[in-house]
Amino acid sequence: MQANFLKVEGLSRVYPSVRGQAPLTVFDNVHFSIDQGEFVCIIGHSGCGKSTILNVLAGLDEPSAGLVFMDGREVSGPSLDRGVVFQGHTLMPWLSVMKNIAFAVKSRWPDWSRIKVSAHCQQFIDLVGLTGSEHKKPSELSGGMKQRVGIARAFAIQPKMLLLDEPFGALDALTRGVIQDELLKICAATAQTVFMITHDVDEAILLSDKIILMTNGPRARIAEIVRNTLPRDRSRSDIHKDPQYYRIRNHLVDFLVSRSRRMADVSAGEYDPRHPPEITLGLVEVVATEAVATIKQPALHLV
């Protein structure tokens, strides 16, 4: 596993001033990195620039400053090396499930034979549990099924990295859980490197190895990076039985509810944007409330 497979350095996004208004800095000097095979979630309130960061990683958007490297190369423009699952389903409604995926597969391997393409597509349709719906149009599918097709499409091109922009945001809780389980399974099987935006704390804990917390925008920055120390073979049914679970969860919820705002106001001080504080409170052998209390100290020397 390659460490620092993806590196983000000094990323910022500034909207130029319009009609005399001050220029708007959405986020500023963001640094983080992702190891190969790591599943990273990013959490923050709307407007902190999560989606922009993802779009920059995807190559669909350009930062005002900063660089992104993947596998030692600078990211400039979209690439088949990074599969994207967008917020809404982005299937082409005139194509069947199979053809939607085949469109991506043919883009990746233009000289594959028709038979090879459809066999490859079938493999990923089966993987997301859509066997039997290959020839349905997206309009005939439920929201959850559409999102599965999107996931199958992203996995089918076997990208080096997967970018998920709140892929389950529009789904009901039940469907969401089922697809989360599937995603967990597929990621475990393929050792896929994933960067995912979410608003759902439980989802982040279930899926990720590392959770990036963003302060509120404008001038959003990475407040801290929480390492998810729960053992990796998690399941939705008993993850909450692990004592670490609530420690991490309380910490995240507490962050979203109050600290994300408070920390946005704190002037830089000891904060080093190149090394945002990394927190491994899951393993801290103290009572959960105490753990949170110590972390609330502004110094944050748990690096």
Partner 1 sequence: MRPSLNLRAALVSLLLLGVLLLGWYVATLPQASKAVNVDPEYAALMGGGAVKKSGMPTPAEVGHTLIDKLAHPFYDHGPNDKGIGIQLAYSLARVLGGFALAALVAIPLGFVVGMSPIMQRALNPYIQLLKPISPLAWMPLALYTIKDSSASAIFVIFICSLWPMLINTAYGVAAVKRDWLNVAKTLEVSPLRKAFQVILPAAAPTILTGMRISMGIAWLVIVAAEMLVGGTGIGYFVWNEWNNLSLTNVIFAILMIGVVGMLLDALFAWMLRLVAYNE
Whether a cis peptide bond, with omega within 30° of 0, leads into 78 is: no
**Structure letter (DSSP) for residue 2:** -
User: Is residue 139 near partner 1 by the rule CB under 8 A?
Assistant: yes
Closer CB to partner 1, 137 or 236, in the complex: 137
Considering the rule CB under 8 A, would residue 273 count as an interface residue with partner 1?
no
Using the contact rule CB under 8 A, the part of the chain among 1-9, 22-30, 99-107, 246-254 near partner 1 is: 99-107
17 by DSSP, 3-state: which? coil
Degrees, nearest 5: CA angle 87-93-98? 95
Distance in Å, CB of 88 to partner 1, minimum: 7
Total number of residues that touch partner 1 (CB under 8 A): 24
Could you give the CA distance from residue 303 to residue 300 in angstroms, rounded to a whole number? 7
To partner 1, the closest distance from the beta carbon of 215 in angstroms equals 28
Instruction: Please tell me the distance from the alpha carbon of residue 124 to that of residue 155, in angstroms, as a whole number.
Output: 7
Q: Is 62 in the site for partner 1 (CB under 8 A)?
A: no
Residues 69-88 that bind partner 1 (CB under 8 A): 78-80, 82-84, 86, 88
> Quick one: 86 or 255, whose CB is closer to partner 1?
86
**How many alpha carbons fall within 13 Å on the CB side of residue 262?**
9
Pairing status of strand 24-34 against strand 6-15: antiparallel
- 104 scored as a contact of partner 1 (CB under 8 A): yes
Backbone angles phi, psi at 293, to 5 degrees: -60, -45
Q: Which is nearer to partner 1, 85 or 201 (CB)?
A: 85
**Residue 60 binds partner 1, judged by CB under 8 A:** yes
Amino acid at residue number 114: R
Contact predicate 225/277, CB 8 Å: yes
Asked if 92 touches partner 1 (CB under 8 A), the answer is yes
List of residues contacting partner 1 (CB under 8 A): 58-60, 78-80, 82-84, 86, 88, 90, 92-95, 103-104, 107-108, 137-139, 157
